[in-house]
Chain A
Amino acid sequence: MVLGTYKEIVSARSTDKQIQNIAQDGGIVSALLSFALDEKIIEGAVVAGPGDDFWKPKPMVAMSSDEILAAAGTKYTFSPNVWMLKEAVRQYGLEKVGTVAIPCQTMGIRKTQSYPFGVRFLADKIKLVVGIYCMENFPFESLRTFISEKMGVSPELVEKMDIGKGKFWVYTQDDVLSIPLKETHGYEQNGCNVCLDYVAELADVSTGSVGSPDGWSTVITRTDAGDTVFKQAVEAGAIETKSIEDVKPGLGLLQKLSGDKKTKNQKTIDERKAMGLPVPF
C-alpha cells in the first residue's frame, strides 16, 4: 500500500488552455476546484494565494474560478491552508468548502473531522480535499537562499519553480536555472523528516507531477466523493485522461519515490524513538 488506498490512477490534464499555461503540472488542482465550484459541489475553496512577498504564499478563500487560478503554481514554502478553513466557514459563511492540501495538511483536516473536539460545525462542511504529493517543504528563508544566494536571481523575476530530475529549478523570462537537490539538503523543514505520506493518502483526490510527462499530472482518486467529482469533470470535458500504463515514466517511479520516503523517514522515526523524543506515528 505504498500509494495508500485508492480507486483509480490515471495521467491527466486540464483541457483549458489558460489553466495549462499557468498551472504547475496538468492543472488538475485548479481545474477540479473550478469545476466543483461551477457545479456547486463547493461554494468556495481555500488555496495558497499570492502573499506580500514574492513566492511567499498566503492562504485565501477563493470564491471564483479567477481567484482559484490566481493561486495556481507550486510555492515551495508554508501556506497554512487549514488555518483559513474557519474563515471560510465563519466569515464567508460557506456551507460547502473545498481546499488544496499537502499530505500533512490533509492529516490536520481529517483528524479534525474524526475528532472535532473544539471545532464546532466546521468539519462536515469540508466537501472536497484535493491533495498534492509532497516530498518535503522549505521555510521561506531556505527558498530565498536557493534563489537569491545560490542562483543569484531576484525572487520577483522568478516565474516558476519546480523540483524534478534531481534538481531544484527556477524559470525566469529568459533563463532556466537549477541547483542539485543535494544542495537543498539541510534546508528542508525538520518536521518533514518524520512524514510518511508522499501522495496525500487521505485526500479525496490526490495529484502530483511524478509519473506523468511534463504538462500532465498523475491523479489518484480515493474516496467516493473524490472519485465522483473527478469522473464528472472528465465527463464534462474539463479534464482529459490517459491510461497510466501508456505514459512514461509511469507508476513505477511514483511507487519508488513514495517507498523511499517512507523508508527514510521511518528510520528517522525509529531514531527519534530510541532517543526518547516524541513522535505521533
Chain B
Amino acid sequence: MLARIKEFLGMETKPTEEIGAEEEVEKVAEEKPKPRIGYIHLSGCTGDGMSLTENYDILAELLTNMVDIVYGQTLVDLWEMPEMDIALVEGSCCLQDEHSLHELKEVREKAGLVVAFGSCAATGCFTRYSRGGQQAQPAHESFVPIADLVKVDLAIPGCPPSPEIIAKTVVAAINGDMDYLQPMMDLVGYTEACGCDLQLKVVNQALCIGCGTCAMSCQTRALSMTNGRPELNEDRCIKCGICYTQCPRSWWPEERIKQDLGL
C-alpha cells in the first residue's frame, strides 16, 4: 500500500522543510503536474462532496491551481470514467446493484489511489441499517464499505468528513506527506465501526480517561458522559466510527501534533 502511494507521488522521502499553506499552493502549482481527481458517487448522500466545497477560502485555489477534477456526477459532464490519480469514492456499495459493483471495480482499475471518502464508504455508516423491502427495489438490502470489495488506499471517515480534513488530506497527498497520511492508511482496516467500540476497545481495555473527546466529536449526539465514561444511545448511533477515530486512546499521532504546535 505504502509503495503504491509513494509510487503515485513519485517520491521516496518525505519533505523536510516546513512551508506555509500559501507557499505550498504555489510550489505545487509550479513544480508538479496537477493530480487528476475523480469523485465517484455510490450509495452516499453527496454530503461528503458538499463538505469538500465548504473549503471556501482555498477552494478556488485548489480547483484552479492544485488539482484537476476530471470526473464526477454533479461536478463534471462526462460519462466515460477516465484515468485518475486519486478517486474519492463516496457512499457504500449495494451488493444487489450491479451497476454500483461494476463502477467500483472500474474505479479500482482506473485510479492510482482509491480513497474511501466519508463514513459510508469507509465503515458503511448508517447504510449498515439497510435491510431491503422498500419500493422500488425491495431486493436492494445489502450495503458494505468499499474496502470489503476492492483494495482501498486511504480512508477519511466522517459523516461528513470535516472540510478541514479533506483539505489537509489533499494537500498532504500532493506534497507526499506520508506521515500525515499514515493514520488514513491505517483506518482503511477500520470497517466495522460502532459507538460501542468505545466500551469494547477503550473502556474494557482499561484505557479510557474520561476526557469527553468522543462525546464532543459524535456527529449525532449519540454519546454523553456519565461518571466520566462515554454512554451510548444506540438508537442514535449511525456507526460512523468518528468517536473511536478521534479518541486520544485509540491511536496517537504524537510527532505530528508536536510539529503542528511548534513544540
Contact = CB atoms under 8 A, between A and B. Distances in A.
Contact of A114 (B156, B211, B219, B256): B256
A117 B250 contact: no
Contact of B162 (A5, A84, A118, A192): A118
Interface stretch (B81-89, B133-141, B238-246): B238-246
B167 to A, nearest CB: 10
B257 A111 contact: yes
A277 B248 contact: no
Given A82-B216, A120-B51, A223-B263, A107 B248 contact: yes
A189 B212 contact: no
Contacts of B163: 120-121
B251 A280 contact: yes
B81 to A, nearest CB: 28
Interface in A223-281: 223-224, 277-281
Contacts of A116: 162, 164-165
A81 interface: yes
Given A108-B213, A223-B262, A118 B246 contact: yes
Interface residues of B, number: 52
B210 to A, nearest CB: 4
B227 interface: yes
B245 A80 contact: no
B235 to A, nearest CB: 19
Nearest to A86: B216
How many chain A residues sit at the interface, stated as a range, is: 35 or more
A104 interface: yes
A113 interface: yes
B102 interface: no
Nearest to B260: A114
Interface string B75-113: 000000000000000000000000000000000000000
Contacts of A124: 164
A11 to B, nearest CB: 22
Nearest to A119: B217
Contacts of A117: 156-158, 161-162, 165, 217, 242, 245-246
Interface string A208-225: 000000000000001110
Contacts of A201: 263
A111 B263 contact: no
B209 A189 contact: yes
A168 interface: no
A84 B215 CA distance: 9
Interface in B212-231: 212-213, 215-219, 224-225, 227-228
Nearest to B187: A117
A189 B203 CA distance: 11
Contacts of B227: 78, 139-140
Contacts of B251: 280
Contacts of B168: 115
A270 to B, nearest CB: 15
B253 A277 contact: no
A139 B228 CA distance: 7
A120 B53 CA distance: 13
B183 interface: yes
A77 interface: yes
B213 A112 contact: yes
A98 B12 CA distance: 41
Contact of B208 (A77, A83, A111, A191): A191
A151 B201 CA distance: 36
B207 interface: yes
Contacts of A123: 162, 164
B36 interface: no
A80 B263 contact: no
B228 A110 contact: no
Contacts of B246: 108, 111-112, 115, 117-119
A107 B258 contact: no
B161 A189 contact: no
Contacts of A110: 257, 260-261
Contacts of A81: 211-212
Contacts of A224: 262
B249 interface: yes
Given A110-B257, A114-B253, A192-B209, A80 B215 contact: yes
6 contacts: A111-B253, A115-B253, A115-B256, A116-B165, A137-B210, A279-B207
